[in-house]
Structure 1
Amino acid sequence: MNQRFITLICLAIILGSLFLLSPIYAQSLADGFMKEKGHGSLVLSYSWEQYDEFYFGTEKMDAPPPYGGQITTQSVNLYGILGLSDNLDLIVNLPFITAQGDAEGAGVPDQEVSGLQDAALFLKWRPVYIESEAGALSFLGALGFATPLSGYEADAVLSIGNHSTRVDARLMTQYKANSGIFIDLQAGYSVRTNDVPNAVVLAGKIGYAGAHFYIDLWSETQISDSDAPDIGMVPFNETRVNYTQVGISGYIPLGESFGISAGVGQYVGGRNVGLATRVSGGLIYNF
C-alpha cells in the first residue's frame, strides 16, 4: 500500500473517532493528518454511552433517581472531509442523538429525548510541514463553527446538547516517524452563545499508523471559564462543565476504499458531568 493510502486510512479513523468522543461535549474535529487535493472521506458512525454516576460540582453522586439512576445516550453521526488543497481541508459533521433514562411507572418525567443536534463546518490549514530522514513534523490550525439544527431542550438533565452556536479555534502539532509511530498535541478555545460558558480544550494522542492497521491512545480535557456556576445555581446550559476523558481507538482497512473503526472511551474526572463509558464503531469510505 502506498503512502497516500496510509494517510487516507489514518485520517479517516482519527477524525471519525473524534466525533465519537461524546455526542454532547466533544469538540475535536481536526488533527495532524491532511487529505490530498480532491480526495476525501465519508464516515458513518454509531456510539453508545452510559453513566450512573456524575459530578454535582466536584462531588461525585448517583445519577438522578427520576431517570432510574442511569442515563444512556446513543448517536448516529455522518461526517465528511474533502481536501481543497494538499494543505487545506474542509470538514463537515451532522449528528442525530437519543438520550434515555431508565425509570418506569406513573409520574416519572419523560424518559427519552432525541433529534438532530449541532451541524459543524470547519477548515483545517497546514502552513508548516517539515520532512526529515526520520519522519515529518507539522504545525496546523483549525477554525470553524457549530450551530443547532433543531429546537431541542437545553435546560434539562436529559438533553442532547446545550443549544449553543459555538466558534472553535485550534492550534495543533503532529510528529509522525517513518516507522508509523506518531504523536498529536493540540490546544484551542471555544466561544459559545446561549449563556454557555466559553472553554479551553486540550487534547493529545499517541499511536501507530501503518498500512494494515491503526491504533491510538487519546486524552481530551475541557476547562470552562472559572466564573461559571455549578449545577443548581443556573439553568443547565449555563453550567460550568469541566472533564477529562481517555480512550483507545483502532481501524482496519477493507481494501483500498473502505474500512471499519472501533473505540472505547471513559470520563475519568470533571465538574458537572456524567462519568460515562462509551463504545463506538464506524464504516469509512475513502475516495
Structure 2
Amino acid sequence: MKFRLLITCITVLTLVVQNTQAQINPDGFFNKKGEANISLSYTYESFEKFYLGLDEVDGVPAHSEIDQNIYNIYANYGITDNITAIVNLPYIKATGNGAADPVNGSTEQSDLQDISVLVKWAPFVSSHKHGTTTGVIAIGGSYAFDYEPNGILSIGNGASSFDTKLGLQYNNNSGFFGNAFVGYSIRGEADNNLGLGTGAKFDVPNSVNAQIKLGYAGKSFYADAWFDAQKTNGGLDINSPDFAGNFPETKVNYSRIGLNLYAPVTKNIGVSLGSGTVVSGRNTGKGTYYTGGLTIGLGK
C-alpha cells in the first residue's frame, strides 16, 4: 500500500486550477483493483500581472492584485488494475486588492468551482528490457456550480465540459519516468446573468491542452518537473474592439512550468508539496502558486 499510495497521489499534484476551469491531468500510474485514496490540499496563488490579449501589463485591471485560496478534495478508485476513476472538487476564494470588479461589482468571490470526473484506461502496457510503456485513454467532464462567471475576479468560466485525453508514459525500472499527453475540452454555455454582450448565454470556447512530465517515482519519495499548456479555439481578446465585458467568451491561453514532491509518512498517509508558474498567456493572470496536501489510503 505504501508504494501504491505514493504513485496514486500523483494526479492530485497535477491538477490545474486556473481562473477558467479546474482540470485533471492524468498520468500513466494506476491503482490496483479496489484501492482508493483521498487527498486534501491547500493552494495559494497570487496574480500581480495580467495578459490583456497578448500584452503583459503590471497589475491586474481594477484589482491591482488578485489572491486565490484554493481548498481541494481529490479521490481516486481502482475499478480494475488498468482502469482508475478520479473525482476532484475545489473550493476557491478570490480576493481583489484594488477597486471593485468593473463587471460584477465585487471585490471578493468564493464558492465551489467545478466538480470534475475522469476515468483513465490503460489499453496496453508494453514491456522492454529496462522498463515499460503504458498507453492511456481518459474520458471525463466537469459540472460548473452556481458562481458568477463574468468578471476578472471570477473563479471559473461557468461552463460544464466534456474532456478527452490521450497519452503515453515510459517507466524505467530504476524509477525514472516520462509522459506526454494531449487532450481536447468541449465547453458548454455559461449563464449571462448580467446581460452583457449578445445572447441569453455565453458561448465558452473549446480548448486543446497538452502536458509533458519527467520525474522519479521510488518507494521512499516522488519528484517531477512538468510543463503544460492550453490553447482555446476561437474567442475574443479582452482588449479587442468586439469585447463587451463578456469574459466567459474570451480566448484563454497559457503555458506553465512546475515542480512536485511527495513522500510517504506511514503505510497509509503521505504528504505533498508543489509549485507552478505561468510563463506565457493570453487573457489570464500571470502568477505563481504554492500547494501542500495530505493523502490517505482507504483501499486494500
Shorter-chain TM-score: what band?
over 0.9
Structure 2 unaligned blocks of 5 or more: 190-202
Match of 1:92 among 87, 91, 99: 87
Whether 2:68 is the aligned partner of 1:73: answer yes
Q: Which residue of 2 aligns with 1:10?
A: 7
Q: Which residue of 2 aligns with 1:214?
A: 222
What fraction of aligned residue pairs are identical, expressed as a percent? 36
Q: Do the aligned residues in 1 keep the contact of 2:181 with 2:210 (CA within 8 Å)?
A: yes
Cα distance in structure 2, aligned partners of 1:261 and 1:21 = 17
Cα distance in structure 2, aligned partners of 1:104 and 1:224 = 29
Q: Which residue of 2 aligns with 1:132?
A: 128
Q: Which residue of 2 aligns with 1:238?
A: 249
Whether 2:216 is the aligned partner of 1:224: answer no
Q: Secondary structure at the residue paired with 2:11?
A: helix
Count of aligned pairs: 279
Cα distance in structure 1, aligned partners of 2:144 and 2:61 = 29
Cα distance in structure 2, aligned partners of 1:125 and 1:85 = 9
Q: Which residue of 1 aligns with 2:108?
A: 112
Q: Do the aligned residues in 1 keep the contact of 2:18 with 2:156 (CA within 8 Å)?
A: no
The Cα offsets for residues 43-82 of structure 1, whole Å up to 9 and x where unpaired, read as 0011010011111000011233532x10011110101100
The Cα offsets for residues 109-131 of structure 1, whole Å up to 9 and x where unpaired, read as 42211001111111111110112
For residue 8 of structure 1, report the CA deviation from its aligned partner.
Answer: 3.0
Q: Which residue of 1 aligns with 2:186?
A: 191
Q: Do the aligned residues in 2 keep the contact of 1:20 with 1:280 (CA within 8 Å)?
A: no
Q: Secondary structure at the residue paired with 2:38?
A: strand
Q: Which residue of 1 aligns with 2:197?
A: none
Whether 2:260 is the aligned partner of 1:252: answer no
Q: Which residue of 1 aligns with 2:200?
A: none
TM-score by length of 1: 0.92
For residue 231 of structure 1, report the CA deviation from its aligned partner.
Answer: 1.1
Aligned ranges for residues 28-39 of structure 1 at < 5 Å? 28-39=24-35
The Cα offsets for residues 118-168 of structure 1, whole Å up to 9 and x where unpaired, read as 11111111110112331111001000010112x211111111100001000
Whether 2:42 is the aligned partner of 1:46: answer yes
Q: Secondary structure at the residue paired with 1:8?
A: helix
Cα distance in structure 1, aligned partners of 2:2 and 2:30 = 12
Q: Do the aligned residues in 2 keep the contact of 1:81 with 1:89 (CA within 8 Å)?
A: yes
Change (3 A) 1:41 1:210: same
Q: Secondary structure at the residue paired with 1:219?
A: strand
Q: Do the aligned residues in 1 keep the contact of 2:2 with 2:266 (CA within 8 Å)?
A: no
Q: Which residue of 2 aligns with 1:122?
A: 118
Aligned letter for 1:192? Answer: R
Change (3 A) 1:221 1:209: same
Aligned ranges for residues 137-148 of structure 1 at < 5 Å? 137-148=133-144
Whether 2:277 is the aligned partner of 1:266: answer yes
Aligned letter for 1:77? Answer: N
TM-score by length of 2: 0.89
Cα distance in structure 2, aligned partners of 1:253 and 1:242 = 35
Structure 1 unaligned blocks of 5 or more: none
Cα distance in structure 2, aligned partners of 1:23 and 1:55 = 13
Cα distance in structure 2, aligned partners of 1:210 and 1:258 = 16
Q: Do the aligned residues in 2 keep the contact of 1:88 with 1:126 (CA within 8 Å)?
A: yes
